[in-house]
Structure 1
Amino acid sequence: MTEHFGDTPLDEINQASVGVAVDAILRPGAAASTVVRNIIVPVRAVMSHAAWMGWGPEPRIKSPELEEATPKPQTPETVALMIERAPPAFRPLVVWFACTGCRVGETLTLDWAQVDLSARLAILLPETTKAGKRRVVDLYPAAVAMLAALPHREGRVFRRVDREPYRASDNGGGQLRTPWATTCQRAGVGGRWQEWKVAGRPKRRWIPEIGPHALRHTWASWHHVIHKDLLRLRDDGGWASVGQVECYAHSLPGHHAASIRQIWGLTPQWQRNSSVA
């Protein structure tokens, strides 16, 4: 964005010039949230600082309207298809998200030193969690089996198809985009084709209607179906308050419980030997 605006005078940066920047910097059809995060917020920040210093006018740039984010859990049937049809190198991540509800940044920075398969738990370090607090993640049998099948036991747990670790990131960014889109498309998750041209050649890619973070919302809804305990959900998921998880209390009908247990690997024998209700 710095290269785009260059030495443009502050009093020439307005709604129209920001619109030009959006078209020049972002891919066609970029979501409103992407426009706000990547263009509107930084432009406003720079202009507000300049105005405070007396170098230019206060920013008068309107943001596009954002749709209210409503957590929409995926059904066990859909997630089972996602796991089955994900690219092989990406499948462990889909299993992990569905079984733990961990955020993408927490997941991509997970090291084998933080995992204890015999105790069926993983430790998230304070510097990797959103709340800045250490968190213990109980591993369901499906997650344990997935981890046990990985071919390495040192360094980062989750690797790309070339077996190199993912970059540390809060949201995964483009490094998860292609395998996630492939997974969603193969599983029948809704989305749309984004089309554009590069040097006159048509390009297109599938844009799923959900991102990896949707499996955190899904896990939370499933957690309440199985455990019926908002305090436990708050603690297990690393939220700050019960108020933040109340939206999951009735987001998925209870008749999905058997299918959820199957995906998590919660057999009757395992449940008798654990604290899972």
Structure 2
Amino acid sequence: MPKARPFKLKSGEVVWRIQFRIDGKVKTETLPDKGAADQFAAWVGKYGGKAARELLAKRDASGHQIPTLAEWTATYLSPESGILTGIQPGTRRGYERMTNAFLPLLGDHPIDAITRDDIGQWVHWVEQQPSGSRKGQTVAPKTVANYRALLSNIFTAAKERKLISDNPVSGVRITRGQSREGVFLTRDEFDVILEHVPNHYKPLVIFMANTGCRWGEATALTWSDIDRSKRTPTVSINKAWKKGVDGVPVLGVPKSAKGRRSIPLPQEVVDSLPPRQGGDQLVFHGVEGGRLWYGMFNTRIWKRAVEKANVGKTPNIHDLRHTYASWLLAAGAPLNAVQNKLGHEKIDTTISVYGHLAPGVDEDIVRVLDAMNRQRRAIEA
């Protein structure tokens, strides 16, 4: 990396010069103070001489009162700024980690100098990066979409505060990938998998398949949430595990306002529940007590059971939620009832995921269209 070196002018003033190359030719940049010179030298080492000069021109045009993307991102994510509120500490830390996807390329740029072309180049770059969890594959499209959404929110906050006139992320498209489709188990397939689940964990698996609860909701249940005094026993979903600081889970509210809900419990679930304990004790816990950890359960319990069952499908734990919805719809439950029990904020979500499972939908569509066509032919005749 080039170094900034002092140079004394005839006037006695000391400036700082950086020598570097562009297309093999030696160039020199002179800056008035060491801090700016060191920063420019770092840009040359990071981006190359030509890009460093373009970045310097952007900074000069913007003026130093306009923050860089790195500076504004730090402000946006800081709890003290009051910009990003209503999230768990662990979620904030997760956002901080996500910024590593765009700050290396864009962080030194003034936010008002970043263009849609810059964002488009970043999208092209990030889509080529290797996945951290899938060996031999690039970053998943869903992950890229999450990066883009965070970056867009950061620019939106800057626009709302009149630091920029437009959000450069808006309108920049990403490559759409093939998303994983949910797996729906039949009752027989579920029973086969359940046979291979160790006895201690069977009550949890039965509960999740018969209530549609998310993992974080089911494993946060305490005995006070279960009401067996009613004719139809129910469970109250009012809390869930959330990401805390450094990834350590903490109890929080469900995913959305609709997530706070009451779900009826079939007799199979009631009969399978472990022996009742104190009201504040976890219903489902580890063999030696304590909270259940998703990673351990998924690897040592669930995946092994699915592999041994060999039902021709590879459901993940969340697919028990899909399975619950499919059982309800097959039994004739209306979509809005399924929405309520799943805790979806909008019925659009329920329809987009499960609408194709609703019995009679195709027949109803064809019936309506046939009636319209008969009416049109009658008028023409």
Verify same fold: TM over 0.5: yes
Q: 1:151 to 1:19 in 2, by over 3 A?
A: same
Find the residue that maps to 1:90 and give its secondary structure: helix
Q: Report how far residue 159 of structure 1 moved.
A: 1.7
The 2-side partners of 1:68 and 1:25 are apart by 18
Q: Does 1:101 align with 2:212?
A: yes
Shifted more, 90-99 versus 230-239: the winner is 230-239
Say whether residues 1:250 and 2:250 are aligned partners: no
**1:187 and 1:39, CA in 2 relative to 1: closer, same or farther beyond 3 A?**
farther
For residues 41-120 of structure 1, the aligned pairs below 5 Å read: 41-46=149-154, 53-54=163-164, 58-59=168-169, 63-67=174-178, 71-119=182-230, 120=233
Q: 1:123 aligns with which of 236, 241, 244?
A: 236
Q: 1:237-269: CA deviations, max 9, x gaps?
A: 434449736433239xxxxxxxxxxxxxxxxxx
Instruction: Select 1:147's aligned residue among 262, 265, 273.
Output: 273
In 1, Cα distance between equivalents of 2:173 and 2:297:
31
The yes-or-no answer on 1:177 pairing with 2:298 is yes
Q: 1:116 to 1:228 in 2, by over 3 A?
A: closer
What CA RMSD, in Å, does the superposition of the two structures yield over aligned residues?
Answer: 4.0
Of residues 239, 264, 286 in structure 2, which corresponds to 1:138? 264
Asked whether 1:218 is paired with 2:323, we answer yes
Distance of 2:328 and 2:334 partners within structure 1: 8
State the Cα distance separating 1:48 from its structure 2 match: 6.3
**Given the alignment, which residue of 335, 343, 355 partners 1:238?**
343
Change (3 A) 1:92 1:30: farther
Contact 1:136 1:236 (C-alpha < 8 Å) held by counterparts = yes
Check 1:248–1:130 CA distance in 2 against 1; reply closer, same or farther (3 A cut).
farther
Q: Does the 8 Å contact 2:325/2:338 carry over to 1?
A: yes
Partner of 2:8: none
- Whichever residue aligns with residue 101 of structure 1, its letter is G
Unaligned runs of 5+ in 2: 1-96, 110-117, 240-252, 361-381
Once residues 134 and 215 of structure 2 are traced to their aligned partners in structure 1, the CA distance between those partners, rounded to angstroms, is: 23
Q: 36-45 or 133-142, which moves further after superposition?
A: 36-45
Q: Distance in 1 between matches of 2:145 and 2:311?
A: 25
**Structure 1 pair 232/164, CA: closer, same or farther in 2 (3 Å)?**
same
Secondary structure of 1:186's counterpart equals helix
Q: Secondary structure at the match of 2:326?
A: helix
User: Does structure 2 retain, via aligned residues, the 8 Å contact 1:14–1:61?
Assistant: no
Contact 1:40 1:61 (8 Å CA) reproduced: no
Long gaps (5+) in structure 1: 192-207, 252-277
TM-score, normalised to structure 1's length? 0.62
Which gives a bigger RCO, structure 1 or 2 (Cα 8 Å, sep 6+)?
1
Give distance in 2, aligned partners of 1:9 and 1:31: 19
Shift of 1:76: 1.2
AA paired with 1:83?
A: L
Quick one: which amino acid aligns to residue 281 of structure 2?
Answer: G
- Residue 74 of structure 1 and its aligned partner are, at CA, apart by 0.9
Shift of 1:96: 0.9
Instruction: Read off the aligned partner of 1:185 and give its amino acid letter.
Output: E
Determine which structure has more spread, i.e. the larger CA radius of gyration: 2
The corresponding residue for 1:163 is 289
Q: Which amino acid in structure 1 is aligned with residue 357 of structure 2?
A: Y
SS at match of 2:331: helix
CA shift in 2, pair 1:71/1:18, >3 Å: closer
* Maintained 8 Å contact 1:72/1:214: yes
| TM, length-normalised to structure 2 | 0.48
Distance 1:227 1:130 in 2: 26
8 Å contact kept, 2:219–2:292: yes
- The Cα of 1:188 is off from its aligned counterpart by 1.9
How many correspondences in the alignment?
A: 228
Which residue of 2 is the match for residue 23 of structure 1?
130
**Distance (whole Å) between structure 2 residues aligned to residue 3 and residue 31 of structure 1:** 13
Identical-pair percentage? 22
